[in-house]
Amino acid sequence: MKNIYLEKIIAKTSQNSWLWISIIFFGQGICSILFSRFMRIPSEQVFQPIVVLFLGGACSLLFFILNGSGNGLKWKWIIPAAFYGSFIYLMSNRSFPGVQLNFDASYFHPVEYATFGLLLARFWYWVVEAKGFPAFALLVVLTGAAFGCLDEYHQSFVAGRDPSASDFIMDVAGILFSLLITAAFRRVARRRLTTGPQAEGR
């Protein structure tokens, strides 16, 4: 029974990608506000990144309302990734002086890049049908890793921040995890198409 509900959720989200993308943005925006207040991070240090998250959510929700599934609009799928890339850039562009965390902040890297990887995967997903999943996965990893590399290089110019090979490895790990999620959802969606009511009616 649980598998049936899971397949229904996957079917809905695969048909309405703009909806789940907006949920990701709004969810992370709300979590960022709660986390910054809990850790007593000054609002001016996180205001811009959080605004970008909510703008990404609002833009994605608007596309969902206007275009539904967004079929035939390949170029528009880069917009969520661009918003999230801007969020990562803004977070890397500050050193958060006076903020003390009781855990290693580098643990955020896999979460950020897993999210970024999912958005890149949605942009590159048309490659699956055109050239197959391996080509698609390679493009996601290359673009995600290239952005992560540039992000670490960018931090070398930010006072109080330094590039880190371990952070870059965690960035790539996040991208790879996003591919596992994409592959899992794709497998369930394909199984639903071959075993569901539509397949039986063929």
Mean pLDDT by 10 residues, the chain (202 residues): 53 70 96 91 92 97 75 79 97 83 80 97 92 95 97 92 92 96 84 55 42
Give φ, ψ of 84 to 5 degrees: -70, -35
Instruction: Quickly list DSSP for the chain.
Output: -HHHHHHHHHHHHHH-HHHHHHHHHHHHHHHHHHHHHHTT--HHHHHHHHHHHHHHHHHHHHHHHHHTT-TT-GGGGHHHHHHHHHHHHHHHT---TT---SS-GGGHHHHHHHHHHHHHHHHHTHHHHHH-HHHHHHHHHHHHHHHHHHHHHHHTTSTT----HHHHHHHHHHHHHHHHHHHHHHHHHHHHHHHSHHHHT-
174 token code pair: 């996040």
Q: What is the pLDDT of residue 200?
A: 42
* C-alpha–C-alpha distance, residues 174 and 140, integer Å: 11
Task: Provide the 10 A C-beta neighbour count for residue 71.
Answer: 9
Angle between helices 165-195 and 133-155 (to 10 degrees): 150
Sign of CA dihedral 122, 127, 129, 134: negative
Q: What is the pLDDT of residue 202?
A: 41
